[in-house]
Amino acid sequence: MQGAPLLSCRQCGTVLSAAGGRCPTCGAEQPSETSRAAGAPLPTPLGGPPGVPPPRMTRRGPPPGLSQRQKALPWVVLAVGLCAIGAIYAAWAPRHSDGADVAPSAAKPPPLPSEAPPVDPNDLGIRDPSSADPTEILGRAKTRALTWSKEAQLVAMRAEPVVDAKVNLSSGGSIEYSFAKPTGEGFGSGARVTGRRLSIKVVGTGAQVGEVAASPGRAALEPNCPLDEAVRKATAAGLPAAAALSVVYDVSDKYQRAVWRLTPSRGGSSRTVDGWTCAILVR
């Protein structure tokens, strides 16, 4: 036994519960049951051909919301992508050698200060004992003298044998520096100094440092005229060229100034050179 056919609006197609009356959706008047049974003509939709029923219209509600699974899907894709990138980096990253993995604490510790060789305070840093420059060593000798006394002043310098303004310490040559403390009488070159001296004698085996007694004297201070220039001037004034010389730098009582006195080691007349201007001083 078949069920009764559904009633629908002839205008909009909305399903109706009973024949007749008006459509609750579009308000179109509906035929009664008797009219429907008699085969009343279908209403003509606006703009459509007569006798053609209007298209069925349905009411649509708002689109359904996304499910929890659909919301979580983008985050799952992102997590999988990051994991894939990490796996690729781990596979292709450079590997460190076993030596690089050793902890810094496993490295050999530096030697203790007590294991380092002691520094010789009398070491004047002479690089080539066979060709020592007395003027160059003077600065380091003065530094050593200042540890003896902050007021130490140069009194005299002696070097022998001097060849081309250099001393061969390895073959028996020597350079001696003498320092003293000022008495407070006078100032600069020629100032009075005490008889207590610090002697620094440089030989092939190193520097010999010690205090010596001497008569009071005068400070010569460091020469403005270097030894090589003094030798050149003395050679031009008549000293034998390339001859071994005995050189003394101190204050001359005759000239009342600091001078270089250069004398041939095998004897002969000497030459005196001003320790400030490098001029030859005539007797």
132 DSSP 8-state letter: B
Number of domains in the chain: 2
Whether the ω angle into residue 161 lies within 30 degrees of 0, i.e. cis, is yes
pTM of the complete model: 0.58
- The confidence band for 11, taking pLDDT boundaries of 50, 70 and 90, is confident
Q: Does one domain contain both 160 and 271?
A: yes
Q: Which of the two residues, 39 and 130, has the higher pLDDT score?
A: 130
State the Cα torsion 203-207-208-212 to the nearest 10°: 100
- Asked if 12 contacts 54 with a C-beta cutoff of 8 angstroms, the reply is yes
Q: Does one domain contain both 54 and 169?
A: no
Domain boundary residue, one of 11, 32, 58: 58
Does the residue 212 lie in any domain? yes
pLDDT value for 1? 45
**Selection from 20-29, 40-49, 167-176, 263-272 with the highest mean pLDDT:** 167-176
Chain position carrying tokens 């010690």: 210
Q: What is the mean pLDDT of residues 78-90?
A: 81
Does the residue 204 lie in any domain? yes
Domain boundary residue, one of 20, 39, 58: 58
Residue 44 has pLDDT above 70, yes or no: no
Count of other CB atoms within 10 angstroms of residue 44: 14
Long-range Cβ pairs for the range 204-207 (8 Å, 24+)? 204/129, 204/169, 204/170, 204/171, 204/172, 204/173, 206/120, 206/122, 206/123, 207/122, 207/123, 207/124, 207/141, 207/144
- The confidence band for 100, taking pLDDT boundaries of 50, 70 and 90, is very low
Does the residue 96 lie in any domain? no
- Asked if 220 contacts 229 with a C-beta cutoff of 8 angstroms, the reply is no
pLDDT value for 32? 72
Q: Which of the two residues, 91 and 184, has the higher pLDDT score?
A: 184
Q: What is the pLDDT of residues 117-143, one digit of tens each?
A: 555 656 888 889 999 999 999 999 999
- Asked if 25 contacts 39 with a C-beta cutoff of 8 angstroms, the reply is no
- Asked if 233 contacts 273 with a C-beta cutoff of 8 angstroms, the reply is yes
Decide: helix, strand or coil at residue 210.
strand
Does the residue 65 lie in any domain? no
Domain boundary residue, one of 58, 81, 105: 58
Q: Which of the two residues, 115 and 21, has the higher pLDDT score?
A: 21
Range of the structural domain that residue 233 is part of: 129-281
Q: What is the mean pLDDT of residues 214-234?
A: 94
Does the residue 108 lie in any domain? no
Q: What is the pLDDT of residues 150-197, one digit of tens each?
A: 999 999 999 999 999 999 999 999 999 999 999 988 878 889 999 999
Q: Does one domain contain both 52 and 134?
A: no
Count of other CB atoms within 10 angstroms of residue 49: 7
Does the residue 6 lie in any domain? yes
User: Across-strand partners of 247?
Assistant: 159, 262
